[in-house]
Amino acid sequence: MLLQSQIGSLLHQDHMTTIETLQGLEELLGSHRKPPAVDAALAERLGALAATLRAEVESHFAFEEGHLFPMFVSKGETGIVMMLTHEHRSILPMAVRVAELAQAAAAQGFDEQSWRDFRDTGVELVEREIFHIQKEEMGLLAAISALLDDAEDAALAATYKATVK
């Protein structure tokens, strides 16, 4: 990997964790046509899924929108900010819904309707969020290195560690 900014490295680590989680979700969804029985292992997996999704959409998105994107706007980079913020707005409700359904299923199991909702929303979430992460990996992280100086990068990394991790 090319030399990356501190904040870019932190965002990249989160992206890789999220992709791994989404791949696990995709595997779960693809391996069951009917609602799976929720045993202790699946309940734990669903709880971990919910926690990771919440961390991504609530903390990660909030950091980008509250700290990183304003710096981009101040440097005249509004296009990427508008595009990624718009995507956040569409991904957020899906991720929260999948997390809620996962938490409920971990406690009570799936019925036909909750499995259908989980599966349908989960499939769309996987597609949209992986595409979103790819955009951030290819565009946002490169832009960070080009736009931010070392002091700005260090300050953002410190803020990120204090608020997200």
Q: pLDDT 10s per residue in the chain (165 long)?
A: 445 799 999 999 999 999 999 999 999 999 999 999 999 999 999 999 999 998 888 899 999 999 999 999 999 999 999 999 999 999 999 999 999 999 999 999 999 999 999 999 999 999 999 999 999 999 999 899 899 999 999 999 999 999 986
E strands in the chain:
none
53, 33 Cβ separation under 8 angstroms: no
Helices (H) and strands (E) in the chain, counts: 8, 0
User: All domains of the chain, ordered by start, with CATH?
Assistant: 6-163 (1.20.120.520)
Identify whether the C-beta of residue 139 lies closer than 8 Å to the C-beta of residue 80.
yes
**Which uninterrupted H or E stretch holds 2?**
none
Separation between Cα atoms, residue 38 and residue 44, nearest integer Å: 9
Cα separation, 107 vs 61, whole angstroms: 27
Assign 3-class secondary structure to 128-158: HHHHHHHHHHHHHHHHHHHHCCHHHHHHHHH
